């Protein structure tokens, strides 16, 4: 594939987690999250190109979100740490919710070095994609990408719901948002 061909990227937020972010560092999906993943499968099937790659965050909730679609289409799911949840080094599990609330209000220039490095890694990884790709990931990862494409100073620029699909396209070195995922009716945990 040459860099002039369009690459479509589907950013999927994981289904509802079984536990909040300040209760379990890697929760699996709740029963509702599993149901959301089944609905996602039906929603995305008609839009997917015939040839695509699939990537997941290493976290259980992202990998489990991919299962229904993977079982239906029998594709290889690559695990990539780049698309993991926003890093929170040195933040105790019990303090993560308050820390995350502060990040929600932050501008990109106010982020600390671990979060800036994480953000830059995500952006550089997207620039290197050569094929249509589905990425099963997280609220903050999707916001990182959307904010970057919009050239927004805000770190959080929208609220993708569980199992929502944000669709972007890259042609040459230009990225464009084709569709923002559903705004959330759930709470970021």
Listed in order, strand segments (DSSP E) in the chain are 7-13, 53-56, 77-79, 133-137, 165-171, 174-179
pLDDT, mean of residues 77-98: 93
Mean pLDDT for all residues in the chain: 94
pLDDT, tens digit (0-9, with 9 covering 90-100), for 89-131: 999 988 988 999 999 999 999 999 999 999 999 999 999 999 9
The reported pLDDT for the residue numbered 22 is 76
CB 56 within 8 A of CB 83: yes
Prediction pTM value: 0.93
pLDDT given at position 5: 86
In the chain the domains, ranked by start, together with CATH numbers, are 7-179 (3.40.50.1240)
Summarised one tens digit per residue, pLDDT across range 142-184 is 999 999 999 999 999 999 999 999 999 999 989 999 999 999 8
Query: According to the model, what pLDDT value does residue 3 have?
Result: 53
Coil, helix or strand for 169? strand
Per-residue confidence (pLDDT) for residue 97, from 0 to 100: 87
User: 186 pLDDT exceeds 80?
Assistant: no
Using the predicted structure, report yes or no on whether residue 133 has a pLDDT greater than 80.
Answer: yes
Selection from 78, 88, 66, 77 nearest residue 140 by Cα:
88
pLDDT of residue 119: 98
DSSP letter for 106, please.
Answer: -
């Amino acid at each position: 594939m040459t860099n002039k061909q369009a690459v479509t990227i589907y950013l999927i937020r994981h289904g509802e987690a079984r536990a909040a972010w300040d209760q379990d560092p890697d929760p699996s999906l709740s029963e509702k999250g599993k149901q959301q993943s089944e609905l996602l499968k039906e929603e995305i099937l008609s839009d997917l190109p015939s040839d695509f790659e699939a990537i997941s965050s290493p976290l259980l909730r992202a990998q489990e979100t991919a299962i229904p679609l993977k079982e239906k289409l029998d594709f290889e799911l690559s695990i990539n740490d780049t698309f993991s949840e926003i890093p929170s080094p040195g933040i105790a599990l019990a303090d993560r919710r308050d820390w995350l609330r502060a990040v929600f209000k932050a501008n990109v220039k106010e982020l600390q070095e671990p979060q800036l490095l994480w953000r830059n890694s995500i952006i550089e990884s997207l620039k290197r994609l050569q094929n249509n790709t589905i990425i099963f990931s997280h609220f903050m990862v999707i916001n990182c990408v959307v904010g970057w494409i919009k050239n927004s100073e805000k770190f959080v620029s929208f609220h993708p719901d569980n199992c929502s699909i944000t669709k972007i396209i890259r042609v040459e070195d230009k990225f464009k948002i084709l569709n923002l995922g559903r705004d959330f009716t759930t709470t970021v945990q």
